[in-house]
Amino acid sequence: MRAIRQITATIALVLATLSPALSQNAIAAQVKVGQPAPNARLETWNGEKYDLASLRGKVVVINFWATWCVPCRKELPLLDGYYRQMKDHGLVVLAATTEDSVGERDLRKLFAFLAITSLHRLRGPYQPMEGVPTNYVIDRAGVVRYAKAGAFDLNALNTILIPLLREPAPAPVPLPAAGGVAEAPKTPATLALRR
């Protein structure tokens, strides 16, 4: 009986230890290259709130980083400089820190020097994969085109982003003509209401 309790306790401990990693991988698995990008709720360090879907028509890079991460310390200034050069061509870079080891005050000082958008919160399926840095790239049509752990270098940024920045933005959904009225689609529910 005692052996069964020890085995049960050991299994519970192992599962509790693995649970966060397994759930993060399951969440990140929802974001698939070649599939429409799931929406996410974004909040910047300046308090602005918006949805990722509102950036449709732009090429979006979501970067997860940490101050203790050596590759991140090289990549973040590179992303910032790249954004400064390409923002007029439709590039948006969102940087999300994954740590709480550095105080908010120190992070705000860093963000004051960056032109890229620094996220305080990102609610949705985007998570670091196998550590930081992790990058996601979403094209103008809202499709995930890249999702990997590892730092970008200039060559990788050019290879991945330049073709996407050259793609035209998707056409906006046409609105009814002036004075016109949009009609709801005729579904069985709306037809039943008209009888």
- Per the prediction, the chain carries an average pLDDT of 82
Q: What is the mean pLDDT of residues 124-133?
A: 93
Give the pLDDT of residue 30.
84
Cβ(28)–Cβ(136) below 8 Å: no
Give the model's confidence band at 14: pLDDT under 50 very low, under 70 low, under 90 confident, else very high: very low
147-177 pLDDT, tens digit per residue, is: 999 999 999 999 999 999 999 988 876 766 6
Q: What is the pTM of this model?
A: 0.74
Percent of the chain with pLDDT over 70: 73
Q: Count Cβ atoms within 10 A of the Cβ of residue 47 and give its class: 0-12 exposed, 13-18 middle, 19 or more buried.
A: exposed
The radius of gyration of the chain's CA atoms, rounded to the nearest angstrom, is 22
Give the model's confidence band at 105: pLDDT under 50 very low, under 70 low, under 90 confident, else very high: confident
22-77 pLDDT, tens digit per residue, is: 344 444 558 999 999 999 999 998 899 999 999 999 999 999 999 899 999 999 99
Residue 87 has pLDDT above 90, yes or no: yes
Measured in residues, the chain has a length of: 195
Beta bridge partners of 149: 134
Closest listed residue to residue 42, CA positions, set 117, 145, 151: 117
Q: To 5 degrees, how large is the angle CA 84–CA 49–CA 165?
A: 35
